[in-house]
Structure 1
Amino acid sequence: MTSIGFIGLGVMGAPMAANLVTAGFDVIGYNRSSGKVRQLVERGGRAAATVAEAVRGVDIVVTMLPDSPDVEAVVLGDGGVLANAAPGTLLIDASTIRPEVSRTIADAARARGLRALDAPVSGGEAGAIEGTLSVMVGGDAADFAAAQPVLNAVGSTVVHVGPAGAGQTVKAANQLIVAGNIELLAEALVFLSAHGVDLESAVEVLGGGLAGSTVIQRKAPGMLNRRFAPGFRVDLHHKDLGIVLDAARAAGVAVPLASHVADLVTSLRAQGGGPLDHSALLLQVERLSGRTNELDEEGEGA
């Protein structure tokens, strides 16, 4: 049985690790909060008390962490993955981080005799639970082939997109498109509401035409019901759009709409919306339109 050390059992990591257990892998989980580890054990996984314990002697390590500094600390730091995993171990980083950090990690792994892939995912919490994530993978083609049984257990669209860092670059583009779609959906809903249109009927017909998208399918119901419990937090999308803008600047590429949406996300976050789902951009559009709705303590429209 292939053994997997899984580090990071958050909103995305926990269901991904559970799906790996269901697929027949021996999964050893580590998370800073032990409750998440206990939940994995209840699903048939095993518990590790430290990163070192999770990765020592396993075949594959999967990391799913919030940001670049977290991945650097867990992978490169003392007591981390590279210091404890055996030569030949395959590291799959499913986090969304800066492409240059993924390249640094790949170089450091190679220097220690390990293999590394950057394999960020898209599909949100629902996709993680369903095992239907889209996985964009950067790294060596042979390492990608070795990782496919693991990646196929968590995703339905798994594609090798190029060398180290390429997966993160594609994920940045994904986050730009998603943020733009959510913002336009929010603007459309406020526009329709101002004209007294039945929103559920409007969303139904829009979803069946050229305007239809996974964003409408996944996000419109929560927006209509004013439920903004996080499937993907504004804080994280703010971080991701920063990656987009930095990478675009480095390449000399103009991304005017990305800059505008990033400003709106930054503003929403500054007003206390960071812990909410990114579909809470609806609230920002309402404020800008003078149709303000206050938030209750649960992060839902009052």
Structure 2
Amino acid sequence: MLTPENTVVGFIGTGVMGKSMAGHLLRAGYQLIVYSRTKEKAGELLEKGAGWVNTPREMAEKANVIFTMVGYPSDVEEIYLGENGLVKNGKAGSFLIDMTTSAPSLALKIFNAAKEKGIHTLDAPVSGGDVGAKEAKLSIMVGGKAEDFKAISPLLNMLGTNIVYQGTAGAGQHTKMCNQIAIASNMIGVCEAIIYAEKAGLNPESVLKSITTGAAGSWSLSNLAPRMLNSNFEPGFYIKHFIKDMKIALDEAEHLEMKVPGLALAKSLYDQLAEMGEENSGTQALYKYWKS
């Protein structure tokens, strides 16, 4: 059993979501060491007692459970499979849990490479944004070996409330693609509904009181539509990362010989926003498409 007494937890990526997630583990009494390309992002965790390492290699040598929450599949591949990465320098029997939304094929590649060294890996992307991360109410979708999921579940339970084992390596990432496909079209609907309300002369806040609890209800409608109305476009989840996710989903759908017109439309709109300089805004900034 992985307890605070026998576990050194590493966390790579202390951005909008990673900082909160790592903080939950630290407060639970686990020895925590962190790494981020920008050390300032880890400042709050360091002040609360987390240790710092200078490279993923150093972390692999010190920690026996390592979580990663970074930006892009290229980052994941470098951190895990690079010369100074976690797999090459990790200890047999250690656990590596990637919570980045990444490519299912890469999750399988990491799993196979780690297996040769006796290292356990799980792909465990999340949904719930900055609010879910802060409140430890994330949805976590997990791929890998069932026994590894069971072993690491006590730590995952500190990060989320809806934690589901989805199957073998890559299954967590495939499930996250389903999540992102559903969100993509839904965000268009949320924005169009708010803009329609405004143009019809309605009070959008009153409209939300009616439609958030009915058949139209969704997480985006309840949590992101109010941000739109308050002109709050700070990132709970960056547009640039959502575009990355949608590209992965489009590529996977192509491999499955599946048409995804809703997803394709959503990505085209977000691409336009990125070209307008909104790539570092939150996904709710899609509202600006109709305001430009």
TM-score, reference length from structure 2: 0.96
Q: CA RMSD in A?
A: 1.1
* Post-superposition offset of 1:224: 0.5
* Post-superposition offset of 1:204: 1.1
The answer as to 2:60 corresponding to 1:41 is no
Structure 1 equivalent of residue 178 of structure 2:
173
SS at structure 1 position matched to 2:157? helix
CA distance in 2, matches of 1:244, 1:79: 29
CA distance in 1, matches of 2:245, 2:290: 20
CA distance in 2, matches of 1:243, 1:96: 9
Query: Identity of aligned pairs, percent?
Result: 38
**How many residue pairs were aligned?**
287
SS at structure 2 position matched to 1:56? helix
* Post-superposition offset of 1:283: 0.8
Residue type of the alignment partner of 1:273: E
SS at structure 2 position matched to 1:153? coil
| Aligned counterpart for 2:225 among listed residues 220, 223, 236 | 220
Structure 1: which 5+ runs fail to align? 287-291, 293-302
CA distance in 1, matches of 2:20, 2:224: 19
SS at structure 2 position matched to 1:87? coil
The answer as to 2:278 corresponding to 1:273 is yes
CA distance in 1, matches of 2:64, 2:126: 21
Cα deviation 1:148-206 (Å, max 9, x = unaligned): 01111101111000110010011011111112211111001111111100010001111
The answer as to 2:269 corresponding to 1:283 is no
Residue type of the alignment partner of 2:156: L
Structure 2 equivalent of residue 261 of structure 1:
266
4+ residue stretches of structure 1 with deviation over 6 A? Answer: none
* Post-superposition offset of 1:35: 1.3
CA distance in 2, matches of 1:52, 1:201: 53
Residue type of the alignment partner of 1:281: L
* Post-superposition offset of 1:44: 2.7
SS at structure 2 position matched to 1:28? strand
* Post-superposition offset of 1:76: 0.6
SS at structure 2 position matched to 1:29? strand
| Aligned counterpart for 2:145 among listed residues 130, 140, 157 | 140
CA distance in 2, matches of 1:186, 1:125: 20
Structure 1 equivalent of residue 242 of structure 2:
237
The answer as to 2:104 corresponding to 1:116 is no
CA distance in 2, matches of 1:32, 1:275: 17
